[in-house]
Amino acid sequence: MIPFEYRRADDVSAAVDTVARNPTASFLGGGTNLVDHLKLGVATPEHLVDVSRLPLDDIEPGPDGGLRIGATARNSDTAADPDVRSRYPVLAEALLSGASGQLRNLATVGGNLLQRTRCAYFQDVTTPCNKREPGTGCSALEGYQRYHAILGASRHCVATHPSDMAVAMVALDATVHVQGPNGSRSLPAEELHRLPGDEPERDTVLEHGELITAVELPPLPFAANSAYRKVRDRASYAFALVSVAAALDVDDAGTVRDVRIAFGGLAHKPWRAHRAEAALRGGPATDDRAARAAEAELENAEPLAGNAFKIPMARGALTATLRRLSPLPTTR
């Protein structure tokens, strides 16, 4: 850990200004990820601008009838919000499946989106890692790969994004609001995180100094019928091997009118499963069709030696999730 200067931000534009002007400055949310990285030497900012107490923690109806969640809302508060629970249960479930009660009490929406990979090599500065130190090589390529990607990876990095919350937001077509030195912009949550390509050091499309101010969920009535399934190595307090966020709209005949699916644990970003969605629309949500939809999505998967199990696991997780959301008894 290097010595650093800590400052609590008083307002959004001052915070953005301070960080934007100083390449060695970082925003600090709840600190549950960044402070670990300070201790481990993974992050070495010299200035921390604490944004966690900015007045950005409201959760309120959005202008179009959706829900606007402030960037500093704590994960526990977001999960407990009555609107989130009733209108977007997938988000509440995703949040509650992450970390521990203590961590969720501290963690913020902005920090959760921008938490970094849990790749064990990334977190150990004595090992080569392109994401931490571009050009040093990727230790995971021939190493420990249980938590690594099977979709969209590159030979420079095979890490996954660890957030559960983000998977739900991507499934829900959320919008991320950002304020930067040149004003504010909005982007789909699906486009926030990027694939590693040959720049694995960049997790997202944000520029230095851009502050996430809110995440907006669109009004999506059938999201009331949504769920999150997280498959992990212990029953609680573990990152996903594979996770599924899904919302399902079926008509009285049991035909899928619409569906939203995103996977976690498979890629460098939350993986919106457009192909699986297309494969499911217009027919019944049977186990069989769910499995085939998953296979369509995973057709281009390139598992590593240590994580081929993620393909059947993702297929099973999707099947189980849709079964839970289906009103009809399904065939096995």
Interface contacts to other proteins, rule CB under 8 A: 1-3, 39, 41, 118, 120-121, 123-124, 126-127, 139, 142-144, 146, 229, 231-239, 241-242, 308-309, 311-313, 316-317, 319-320, 323
Nearer to ligand SF4, 157 or 259 (CB): 157
Backbone φ, ψ for residue 178 (5° rounding): -130, 140
Nearer to ligand FAD, 27 or 122 (CB): 27
Part of the chain binding ligand SF4 (CB under 6 A), chosen from 89-97, 134-142, 168-176, 290-298: 134-142
DSSP result, 91-103:
HHHHHHTSS-HHH
* Residue 164 binding target from ligand FAD, ligand SF4, other proteins, none, CB below 5 to 8 Å by type: ligand FAD
Least distance CB 57 / other proteins (angstroms)? 26
Question: Parallel, antiparallel, or unpaired for β 67-70 and 59-61?
Answer: antiparallel
**Count of residues that interact with ligand FAD, criterion CB under 6 A:** 30
Under a CB-based contact definition with an 8 Å cutoff, are residues 172 and 87 in contact? no
DSSP result, 192-260:
TB---TT-TT--BSPPTT-EEEEEEEPP-GGGGSEEEEEEESSSSS--EEEEEEEEEEE-TTSBEEEEE
Work out whether 239 is an interface residue with ligand SF4 (CB under 6 A).
no
From 51, 52, 49, 53, select the one nearest 5 (Cα to Cα). 49
Structure tokens at 208: 């230095």
Q: For the window 139-178, what string marks contact with ligand SF4 as x by the rule CB under 6 A?
A: xx----------------xxx-------------------
243: Cβ contacts below 8 Å, ≥ 6 apart: 94, 97, 164, 167, 228, 229, 230, 231, 263, 264, 265, 317
CA atoms within 13 A on the CB side of 92: 16
- Within positions 38 to 97, which residues make up the interface with ligand FAD, using CB under 6 A? 51, 71, 75
Using CB under 6 A, list all residues that contact ligand SF4. Answer: 117, 119, 121-122, 129-131, 138-140, 157-159, 200
The binding site for ligand FAD (CB under 6 A) comprises 26-34, 51, 71, 75, 98-99, 103, 106-108, 110-112, 114-115, 162-165, 211-212, 239
